[in-house]
Amino acid sequence: MKKLMVPGLISLILAACSNTVQLAPSATPTLSATSAPTASPLPPGETPEGQPASNWNGIPIMPGAIAGEGDEEGYVFTVKATPVQVQEYYQLELGKLGWQPFVQEAGDSSMMIIFMDGASATLTVSILSKGDEVLVLLVK
């Protein structure tokens, strides 16, 4: 199930993100939400069910996470927050760890931020609003 979940969620979130904003390493990210996402809500059973971790591969999991699960390829969790709150959390916390936003894509109910560190490693934070919860997918 996990092997199928991460690629499926990545595809869904990429399809939901419609606008791209290129960011210089020192730029402050801005949202651009001019068109609606094209993806439908996640099918039942595609949300994480396990107890959330406090971090995944050195990346913090947002406090208040309700459920989460992952493997070496990615980690997905849900949290009762807005997409903007998740975005602000990861920009602040990842900035403390040396990650800088590189690219950001945003739609009405979804966004994706790609971060880079000093060693040119990338981390993708995909955020998808689902009712009063947000589904967050981390891929490193």
- For the chain, helix, strand, coil in percent to 5 are 20, 35, 45
What residue segments make up the domains of the chain, in order of their start? 2-33+49-139
- Is the pTM higher than 0.85? The answer reads no
pLDDT (tens digit per residue) in 36-78: 333 333 344 567 878 899 999 999 999 999 999 999 999 999 9
Residue 35 CB neighbours (<10 A): 11
What does the pLDDT read at residue 125?
A: 97
What does the pLDDT read at residue 75?
A: 97
What does the pLDDT read at residue 29?
A: 42
Mean pLDDT, the chain, rounded, equals 77
Alpha-carbon dihedral 58, 61, 113, 108, rounded to 10 degrees:
170
Task: Tell me how far apart the 2 most distant CA atoms of the chain are, in Å.
Answer: 40
Split at pLDDT 50, 70, 90, the class of 106 is confident
Overall average pLDDT of the 94-112 stretch: 92
Q: Tell me what percent of the residues of the chain surpass a pLDDT of 70.
A: 67
What does the pLDDT read at residue 47?
A: 72
Return the HEC string of 26-83: CCCCCCCCCCCCCCCCCCCCCCCCCCCCCEECCEECCCCEEEEEECCCEEEEEECCCH
